[in-house]
Structure 1
């Protein structure tokens, strides 16, 4: 692995810890390029750091408490980092159209990140929210 690939891997790990787990807006502003494009963001989400703030801080952190991220695998090639991970948290609010269950939920994700100069420039993601849907249905008698 090249020195740049090591830096890119470390940047993605930092994002998962400081942004997803801890909700750090300072880390968002440091790690997300102003030109950042999130190709799998909800409709109407702005590009750049504000889009990450809107989704992660204003949506995810309001819906899930006690967030932790478990990294299962990472594949790094040149300027891209692919991460397979699970986000855990207790769902206390509606998230991605799913009513709260009050239960700990698992969201399985595969992310593809492009980085330049230590910042995220592009993002694609596949999310599996079935665990959250199942627990919501059970809690809300659906």
Structure 2
């Protein structure tokens, strides 16, 4: 039998694959509670989360999130991820460059009854923008 942290990690692996890698936002309710709290995207609800997935798919249609590390304790899962893709759409004033992008991100998710009730994310946006511009990492 799975412990709660193990079961929660399995849910988060599926969430990253289905929502972020495949862009299946129609499956959002399979992963998120109806009243979940969004701490990173605007608006702070399902619309904001789905809108950010759409932005990612627009600017990097080939984007893939790889989970580097998952840590789970009680009802919380923390993910360390790497985003890889090709800059193919305008973003924050930067026209499509065709440059490869590889940046690190962190997500913290709280689950209750096998649904995500709170989400926050931190992406190295400065590094993302540098790579889109073709600037080399120091």
Normalised by the size of structure 2, how large is the TM-score? 0.86
* Residue aligning to 2:63: 67
User: How do residues 1-142 of structure 1 correspond to structure 2 at under 5 angstroms?
Assistant: 3-41=3-41, 45-57=42-54, 59-95=55-91, 97=92, 99=94, 100-138=96-134
| 8 Å Cα contact 2:5/2:75 also seen in 1 | yes
CA RMSD between the two structures = 2.0
Distance 2:116 2:103 in 1: 21
Classify 1:89/1:98 alpha carbon distance in 2 versus 1 (closer, same or farther; 3 Å).
farther
Partners of 1:98 and 1:80 in 2: CA distance: 36
Give the aligned length: 134
**C-alpha separation in 1, matches of 2:115 and 2:45:** 11
Deviations 1:48-89 (A, max 9, x none): 3222211112x1111112121111111100000001001111
Structure 2 unmatched ranges of 5 or more: none
**How far, CA to CA, are the matches of 1:30 and 1:108 in structure 2?**
26
Q: 1:47 to 1:131 in 2, by over 3 A?
A: closer
Q: Secondary structure at the match of 1:114?
A: strand
Extract structure 1 runs of 4+ deviating beyond 6 A. Answer: none
Deviations 1:2-43 (A, max 9, x none): 6221111011100110011000123212111111112122xx
